[in-house]
Amino acid sequence: MSFDSPNPPGQFPQVRMRRLRRSDWMRRLVREHQLTANDLIWPIFLQDGTSTSTPVASMPGVERLTVDRVADAVAKAAELGIPAVALFPATDPARKTPDGDEALNAENLVCRAVRAVKAAKIDIGVICDVALDPYTTHGQDGLVRDGYVVNDETLEMLGQQAVVQAAAGCDVIAPSDMMDGRVAAVRKALDAAGFQHVAILAYAAKYASAYYGPFRDAVGSKKSLGQGDKRTYQMDPANGDEALREVALDIAEGADLVMVKPGQPYLDIVHRVKSTFGVPTFAYQVSGEYAMIAAAAANGWIDRDAVMLESLLAFKRAGADGILTYFAVDVARLLRANP
Ligand code: PBG
């Protein structure tokens, strides 16, 4: 048949894409990506006190938990098949200092929570952030000297913070501070302290994003940060190629897993990172992304469950191996009810 034919092969009407969408069984048969509980990491906020769960106003459905409630929450996540949780402390402002020394206190909130989870012998991974912002009076992720977040002096502390968290039982250290050289510094400090088996999940391409607002409410760093911003170390949202350089450096420095953050507005970066490096690539559906979905759903403007699932499936399609999401428990429950 010639290509001048009025009905060239490989085109309509011989080809009808809708044949593959006609029925549920066919759609399931040709589905390219699937979201499962194994893809989820659940971020949990911690607070001081006992037997208390405090709702986070800007994240409807999310609560800060006291340490005595963490093990139960984590056990529930494990039972739902969620492979890992990430713990974030809302530090008592009285414990914050300009240099964030509380980060190195083995009795700090996050270390106590890690020990509580480990003591409960729950089969789940525990991830802890390495960065000073929960502990500094100025809310920056590093040490500030003459108004500038200094790099090399901060590295020293981050290494020590990682060791303190590993000693508490943390399985994965996640440097979220965006200092140069921090992955190598953390790896070196962990190895020197005998923590060769503790993995590093690098927030490799972390952008200076306005989507972190509700998180800073949740951990109480917004007031500390005030009018400040993190643009001298977190990435410019305008840049894509730069993310690949950041990821390449972190892999070379010893990152086991890499992360892109925020998530949905940066899925192009997730796709480029995964297709360029082929390493385990995670993405963080951050607090602002959660808040937007939760708020629209609360107004009845979107279907919460449907948008939640669609948003996370998009991460998988972009190439993410896993997603940090505040929806983790809800999703795992939903997937269990409707696999
Ligand atoms: C701390 C940190 C932040 C988030 C994770 N770790 C905030 C920030 O960098 O200001 C944001 C997570 C979220 O918004 O859900 N370095």
- Report pLDDT digits (tens) over 255-277: 999 999 999 999 999 999 999 99
CA–centroid distance, 298 to ligand 1, in Å, is 24
**152: amino acid identity, one letter:** D
Which residues are catalytically annotated?
206, 261
Measured between alpha carbons, how far is 54 from 44 in angstroms, rounded to an integer? 12
In this predicted model, what pLDDT tens digit does every residue of 202-223 receive, in sequence order? 999 999 999 999 999 999 888 8
- Is 287 near ligand 1, meaning CB less than 6 Å away? yes
CA–centroid distance, 32 to ligand 1, in Å, is 31
The mean pLDDT value for 104-109 works out to: 98
Within the chain, how many helices (H) and strands (E) appear? 12, 12
The residue among 329, 327, 309 whose CA lies nearest residue 317 is 309
Angle between helices 182-192 and 241-253 (to 10 degrees): 20
In this predicted model, what pLDDT tens digit does every residue of 321-334 receive, in sequence order? 999 999 999 999 99
- Is 217 near ligand 1, meaning CB less than 6 Å away? no
User: Residue 192 burial (CB < 10 Å; 0-12/13-18/19+)?
Assistant: exposed
Query: Left if phi > 0, otherwise alpha if psi is -120 to 50, otherwise beta: which for 165?
Result: alpha
Measured between alpha carbons, how far is 131 from 134 in angstroms, rounded to an integer? 8
CA–centroid distance, 235 to ligand 1, in Å, is 13
* 5 has a pLDDT exceeding 70: no
Confidence of residue 99 (pLDDT cuts 50, 70, 90): very high
Measured between alpha carbons, how far is 39 from 142 in angstroms, rounded to an integer? 31
| Length of the chain measured in residues | 339
Q: Which atom of ligand 1 is nearest to the CA of 221?
A: 10
* 7 has a pLDDT exceeding 90: no
- Is 133 near ligand 1, meaning CB less than 6 Å away? yes
Confidence of residue 338 (pLDDT cuts 50, 70, 90): confident
State residue 10's pLDDT score: 87
Instruction: Give the three-class secondary structure for 40.
Output: strand
* 4 has a pLDDT exceeding 70: no
Instruction: Give the three-class secondary structure for 147.
Output: coil
Q: Are 284 and 327 in contact (CB under 8 A)?
A: no
Confidence of residue 242 (pLDDT cuts 50, 70, 90): very high
Measured between alpha carbons, how far is 158 from 189 in angstroms, rounded to an integer? 9
CA–centroid distance, 215 to ligand 1, in Å, is 6
In this predicted model, what pLDDT tens digit does every residue of 123-166 receive, in sequence order? 999 999 999 999 999 999 999 999 999 999 999 999 999 999 99
Measured between alpha carbons, how far is 97 from 100 in angstroms, rounded to an integer? 5
DSSP class of residue 18 equals G
Residue 261 token pair: 């953050």
Residue 159 token pair: 């290494």
State residue 45's pLDDT score: 98
Q: Are 127 and 201 in contact (CB under 8 A)?
A: yes
* 1 has a pLDDT exceeding 60: no
* 236 has a pLDDT exceeding 70: yes
- Is 42 near ligand 1, meaning CB less than 6 Å away? no
Q: Bridge partners of 284?
A: 324
Q: Are 166 and 200 in contact (CB under 8 A)?
A: no
State residue 6's pLDDT score: 64
Whole-prediction pTM:
0.96
* 108 has a pLDDT exceeding 80: yes
State residue 113's pLDDT score: 98
In this predicted model, what pLDDT tens digit does every residue of 47-71 receive, in sequence order? 999 999 999 999 999 999 999 999 9
Confidence of residue 2 (pLDDT cuts 50, 70, 90): low
